[in-house]
Amino acid sequence: MQFRRQCVVVVFSALLALPLAAGETGRIVAVGDVHGSFEGLTAILEETGIIDANLKWTGGTATYIQLGDLFDRGLHVRETLEFLIRLQGEAGAAGGRVECVLGNHETMNLTGFFRDANPEVYTTFVDAKSEKRRKKLWSAVKSYRALRDEPTDDAALEAWEIEHPLGWVEYADALEPKGVYGKWLRTLPTAIMIDGALFIHGGVSPDVAGMSVDEINKTVASELKTFDTARHYLVSQSLVPPSASFTEIADMVVAITYWAGQEDSTDIIRRHADLLEPLVGINEWLTMSPDGPLWFRGATRWDEEIRGEEMAALLDGVGAEVMVVGHTPDPEGPIRVRCKNRVFLIATGMLSSYYEGGRPSALEIVGDTFTAIYLDHREVLVGGDELDKAAEMPPGVREIQVARR
């Protein structure tokens, strides 16, 4: 009997060490922040059996969920985007799903806030006409500056070119509403609910209390559309330069709102203010707020003893049994479970060149079993009865840790 129990542990441990069979019905694999780490992303997806060595879909009917932050810091952003767009088609043809949700770095880039973009990423967008396009953009910016008596000399051009290297124009164009990546990104939800499991980049906070997943998604999509419309209007009226950043646009909205309220304001200024009124308070939008679903860090940082019940109430309010989030990397630690096994933190600093000690990881969900997957091992975090029984057996080839729900 002792021998038989040890054999069960050996076999079970060996199975955990291998990718699960492709095509397992009801299987979900979630991956946290990528930040341009294409190599890390594809390595962990191959380890999970979602793709093969040729980067082709082998996940069968499984669902792969990418929790946002594809952009910034790392170099291989474009490769990552191309890969995910292609993989969505392959998965669908096989009866599987690839679902991507927005992260705060997606919305930053969609609104022209390129603060954290790796400058080398722009070089991946350079083509034979890049120099010509950049000169054309500078010509438009120069005209805008001339109207305001701003510098347009060689020194000004040199400084502008440093901020807008070759490839910048193509990068920005690709993220426009009709751009090759901007169009796709604007179709992505902020949150996805599957069988009571909520997948969201930052998490649910008091700011979204009482909102449904559908309402959260519609609100963020509406805010992005409002921003796009306002940016187009501001550029068309020469109120901001064609290369305007998020900060320049937000500052201009504040300025116009102020001028419109002055006694000597003009009709045209007041008309501008009326049209731009939806952008007043933009920093409090769900898309931008530090307590919104894209930026919230309470799932990671709230004291469980003090605010654990509040977090549970927030999950109940949105109809979620569990929540899986990224956003706040813990490169020195594993995937973590909080709030009585209701919150899973899966950002582990995949871009190790930026997050020292970081590593690729994935969370696999099959029924009521939640397993952390790394490139060198697997660990059951929350499991069902069969795994509980296996954990009670004598130590075998692999130690199995199970936390009961």
pLDDT at 31 over 70: yes
* Angle, alpha carbons 76-192-245 (nearest 5°): 50
Structure tokens at 397: 């080839």
Kind of pairing between the strands at 197-200 and 322-325: parallel
Which pLDDT value is given to residue 332? 74
Residues with Cβ < 8 Å from 190, sequence gap 6 or more? 101, 102, 200, 201, 216, 217, 220, 221, 286, 293, 294
Q: Is 376 exposed, middle or buried (0-12, 13-18, 19+ CB in 10 A)?
A: exposed
C-alpha to C-alpha distance for 17 and 374, rounded to whole angstroms = 10
pLDDT at 74 over 80: yes
pLDDT at 203 over 90: yes
Structural domains in the chain, CATH included, are 24-119+177-227+301-391 (3.60.21.10), 127-166 (no CATH)
- Count the residues in the chain: 405
C-alpha to C-alpha distance for 169 and 380, rounded to whole angstroms = 46
C-alpha to C-alpha distance for 294 and 200, rounded to whole angstroms = 8
Q: What is the CA radius of gyration of the chain?
A: 24
C-alpha to C-alpha distance for 37 and 39, rounded to whole angstroms = 5
Chain segment 209-230, per-residue pLDDT in tens: 989 999 999 999 999 999 999 9
C-alpha to C-alpha distance for 168 and 189, rounded to whole angstroms = 26
Q: Is 82 exposed, middle or buried (0-12, 13-18, 19+ CB in 10 A)?
A: middle
C-alpha to C-alpha distance for 244 and 229, rounded to whole angstroms = 14
Predicted confidence band at 330 (pLDDT cuts at 50, 70, 90)? confident
Whether this prediction's pTM lies above 0.75 is answered by yes
Structure tokens at 313: 């109430």
User: Do residues 213 and 186 make contact, with C-beta atoms less than 8 angstroms apart?
Assistant: no
Chain segment 230-281, per-residue pLDDT in tens: 999 999 999 999 889 999 999 999 999 999 999 999 999 999 999 999 999 9
* Angle, alpha carbons 192-355-324 (nearest 5°): 20
Average pLDDT value for residue range 364-372: 96
pLDDT at 402 over 70: no
pLDDT at 14 over 70: no
Q: Which amino acid is at 375?
A: L
Beta partners for residue 336, in sequence order:
345
Predicted confidence band at 384 (pLDDT cuts at 50, 70, 90)? low
Average pLDDT value for residue range 374-395: 67
User: Do residues 59 and 49 make contact, with C-beta atoms less than 8 angstroms apart?
Assistant: yes
Q: Which amino acid is at 24?
A: E
C-alpha to C-alpha distance for 191 and 103, rounded to whole angstroms = 10
Lowest mean pLDDT among 14-23, 52-61, 178-187: 14-23
Predicted confidence band at 385 (pLDDT cuts at 50, 70, 90)? low
Chain segment 120-177, per-residue pLDDT in tens: 999 999 999 999 999 999 999 999 999 889 999 999 999 999 999 999 999 999 999 9
C-alpha to C-alpha distance for 29 and 63, rounded to whole angstroms = 6
pLDDT at 92 over 70: yes
C-alpha to C-alpha distance for 350 and 35, rounded to whole angstroms = 8
